[in-house]
């Protein structure tokens, strides 16, 4: 059992609240924790004497930070390297204090500590005020979804308990946290060193201007995280064991619960079966269920091939399936992260090779703005888009923090981690799910080649993709006219037309837009099969949707990238849509608030920022005559 898991179990069976202590190096974290334990009677006198003796040998006054210095290297350098976990209790309940390192070099360990926490104390030195590393820690707390945050302004004795200086720090940190979407439970001025600890257990006589809670009062106001067994069932498959005639699927239930008789689905394979038994060792009576936090094994009522890395869930609330997602990441490697960088992504027990499709924004933690750079340097946080070749089973971190986090590995080293966001991207599960059964396609008496030969040209799907305003429909309509006059069977499908009929029931959410393209892709493929050249003019922002359309049409598919920069399209803005999107009147607008994944290797590239409409039409017509017409 891991240390983290062990902390969930106490003698009384009560879940202890896990609290992480973060802050810049030398801002007083270890001193605070040592003093807190002493003030609440959690330290035996022998330990206090040991700390006093070490302090005297070093010629220092009582140094409470020595309590947490588990390694000699830390004492030598005067910094905390590893994460320490300390059981602790007040009269109300039990806690586990996670003392996370604050130095920039050990940010990875700070994130490890924060990942398990239900609440956080952010420490700020009263003399130094809000530092860049303090901002970075606050940002990482928001990134990890630690929304229960309080701020302790330490070393108030070094500024003579000055109310005005404290008020300035409180104003700055509240403003910064507000931009992160965090509201601190309290901002408490404390002093942990010296004879009398201030505002930790007892109120400070020299800070009567402070009327908020003491640290102990604040602790007991914190709320435990909702129990994970109340969330949807998730069990990443760890392994499959064979005993006798049983195949036991084993793993740790991260959230929710599973019981005998439940139908479970495994993602991304999509295979499902009923749970026949929940297995256990050395017991005459097998359990009927397993719940969050337990390592369980179960058998199924039918033999299906399941492998490590798949995620077991109930079908009605299965994880998202996608080959692309947005990652809010922190980066630890000395080697900058750039577009095209391929890494191993570890997601629970699954491993996927992913490529950085785009670096969307490198965050300046000073002002929370973008740096404008396209590479992520060490200790920076950023928003990136990651793409895998195959489908991955994902959860968004905001809905499922435990299964919405990932780790990035390069050359066998952990180089980053982050949380999953599907902002702007659809769940592809519905797009690949076949619900109808007992389907038998009827055989046609007129095959495709016969239709094509009689027309004198092949059927084709000319899939015209590009930003709104790039010129897709204009070129398609003009080319349709030219080709028709030349004797081709040709027809234009465009977004406005199909949304008035076939797809009138779809909106503009990422899922609806993906379904829109799926249907159009299938229709266009039928046009091509019937011998018609179908000019399909759709923004179709997702590469996966276009790949699905290509698969539907097979060798009749030809991708045409109608290219124009976003700035050019905004200047044209023929329907006034960009202006409305910029004003916030249109949500999920491609290029503004939703992604556009440009084709990497289109069959034809028409740059309308450099060509006239006539020149673009000529390129398209020439392509048809050289690639689709029979000679």
To the nearest whole percent, how much of the chain has pLDDT over 70?
Answer: 88
Q: What's the mean pLDDT in 300-327? A: 94
Q: What's the mean pLDDT in 6-10? A: 36
Give the Cα separation of 190 and 156 in Å (integer).
6
Write out the two tokens for 509: 């959410």
Q: What is the pLDDT of residues 365-375, one digit of tens each?
A: 777 777 888 89
Residue 580: which pLDDT band, with cuts at 50, 70 and 90? very high
Give the Cα separation of 1 and 7 in Å (integer).
10
Write out the two tokens for 97: 């204090």
Confidence (pLDDT) at 54: 73
Q: What is the pLDDT of residues 203-234, one digit of tens each?
A: 988 899 999 999 999 998 888 776 777 889 99
The residues that bridge with 89 in the sheet, in sequence order, are: 94
Give the Cα separation of 305 and 320 in Å (integer).
21
The residues that bridge with 263 in the sheet, in sequence order, are: 274
Confidence (pLDDT) at 516: 93
**Higher local confidence (pLDDT), 9 or 391:** 391
Confidence (pLDDT) at 540: 94
Residue 107: which pLDDT band, with cuts at 50, 70 and 90? low
Confidence (pLDDT) at 369: 74
Longest pairwise C-alpha distance within the chain = 100
Give the Cα separation of 203 and 220 in Å (integer).
16
Question: Mean pLDDT score of the chain, rounded to an integer?
Answer: 86
Please name the residues in contact with 207: beta carbons below 8 A apart, sequence gap of 6 or more: 156, 161, 163, 189, 198, 199
Most confident of 59-73, 93-107, 426-440, 475-489: 475-489
Confidence (pLDDT) at 197: 80
Confidence (pLDDT) at 5: 37
Nearest to 213 by CA among 123, 152, 158: 152
Least confident of 139-143, 249-253, 411-415: 139-143
Q: What is the pLDDT of residues 335-352, one digit of tens each?
A: 999 999 999 999 999 999
Cβ–Cβ under 8 Å, residues 31 and 156 = no
**What residues are annotated to the active site?**
540
CA 437 to chain centre: 35
pLDDT at 79 over 80: no
Q: Kindly write down the DSSP assignment for every residue of 219-284, as one continuous string.
A: HHH--PPPPGGGSPPBEEEEEEEEETTEEEEEEE--BSEEETT-EEEEETTTEEEEEEEEE-SS-S
Q: What's the mean pLDDT in 469-487? A: 95
**Higher local confidence (pLDDT), 493 or 65:** 493
Confidence (pLDDT) at 491: 96
């Amino acid at each position: 059992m891991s240390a983290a898991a062990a902390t969930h179990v106490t003698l009384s069976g009560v879940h202890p609240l896990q609290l992480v202590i973060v802050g810049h190096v030398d801002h007083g974290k270890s001193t605070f924790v040592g003093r807190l334990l002493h003030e609440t009677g959690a330290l035996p006198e022998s330990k206090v004497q040991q700390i006093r003796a070490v302090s005297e040998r070093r010629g220092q006054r009582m140094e409470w930070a020595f309590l947490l210095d588990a390694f000699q290297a830390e004492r030598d350098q005067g910094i905390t390297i590893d994460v320490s976990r300390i059981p602790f209790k007040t009269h109300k309940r039990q806690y586990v204090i996670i003392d996370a390192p604050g130095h920039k070099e050990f940010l990875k360990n700070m994130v490890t500590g924060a990942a398990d926490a239900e609440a956080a104390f952010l420490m700020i030195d009263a003399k130094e005020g809000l530092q860049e590393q303090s901002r970075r820690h606050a940002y990482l707390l928001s990134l990890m979804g630690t929304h229960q945050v309080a701020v302790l302004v330490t070393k108030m004795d070094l500024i003579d308990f000055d109310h005005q200086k404290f008020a300035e720090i409180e104003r700055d940190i509240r403003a910064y946290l507000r931009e992160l979407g965090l509201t601190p439970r309290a901002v408490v001025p404390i002093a942990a060193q010296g004879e009398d600890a201030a505002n930790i257990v007892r109120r400070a006589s020299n800070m009567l201007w402070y009327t908020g809670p003491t640290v102990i009062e604040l602790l007991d106001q914190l709320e435990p995280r909702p129990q994970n067994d109340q969330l949807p069932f998730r069990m990443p498959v760890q392994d499959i064991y064979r005993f006798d005639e049983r195949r036991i699927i084993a793993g740790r239930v991260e959230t929710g619960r599973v019981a005998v008789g439940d139908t479970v689905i495994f993602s991304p394979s999509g295979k499902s079966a009923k749970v026949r038994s929940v297995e256990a060792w050395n017991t005459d009576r097998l359990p009927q269920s397993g719940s969050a936090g337990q390592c369980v094994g179960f058998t199924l009522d039918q033999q299906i091939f399941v492998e490590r890395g798949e995620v077991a869930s109930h079908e009605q609330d299965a994880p998202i399936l996608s080959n692309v997602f947005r990652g809010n990441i922190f980066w630890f490697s000395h080697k900058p992260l750039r577009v095209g960088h391929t890494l191993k992504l570890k997601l629970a027990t699954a491993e996927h090779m992913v490529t950085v499709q785009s670096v969307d924004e490198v965050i300046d933690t000073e002002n929370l703005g973008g740096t404008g750079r396209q590479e992520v340097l060490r200790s920076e946080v950023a928003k990136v888009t990651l793409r895998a070749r195959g489908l991955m089973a994902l959860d968004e971190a905001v809905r499922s923090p435990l299964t919405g986090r990932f780790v990035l590995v390069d050359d066998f080293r952990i180089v980053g981690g982050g949380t999953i966001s599907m902002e702007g991207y659809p769940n592809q599960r519905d797009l690949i799910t076949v619900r109808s059964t007992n389907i038998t396609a009827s055989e046609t008496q007129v095959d495709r080649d016969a239709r094509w030969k009689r027309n004198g040209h092949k059927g084709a799907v000319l899939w015209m993709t590009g930003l709104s305003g790039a010129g897709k429909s204009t070129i398609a309509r003009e080319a349709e006219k030219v080709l028709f006059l030349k004797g081709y069977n040709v027809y234009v499908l465009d977004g406005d037309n199909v949304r008035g009929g076939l797809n009138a029931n779809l909106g503009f959410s990422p899922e609806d837009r993906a379904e829109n393209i799926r249907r159009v892709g299938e229709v266009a493929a039928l046009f091509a099969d019937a011998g018609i050249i179908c000019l399909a003019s759709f923004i179709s922002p997702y590469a996966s949707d276009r790949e699905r359309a290509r698969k539907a049409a097979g060798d009749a598919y030809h991708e045409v990238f109608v290219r124009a920069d976003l700035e050019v399209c905004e200047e044209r803005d023929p329907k006034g849509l960009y202006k409305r999107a910029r004003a916030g009147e249109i949500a999920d607008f491609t290029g503004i608030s939703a992604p556009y994944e440009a084709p990497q290797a289109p069959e034809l590239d028409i740059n309308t920022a450099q060509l006239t409409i006539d020149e673009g039409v000529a390129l398209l017509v020439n392509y048809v005559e050289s690639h689709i017409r029979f000679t």
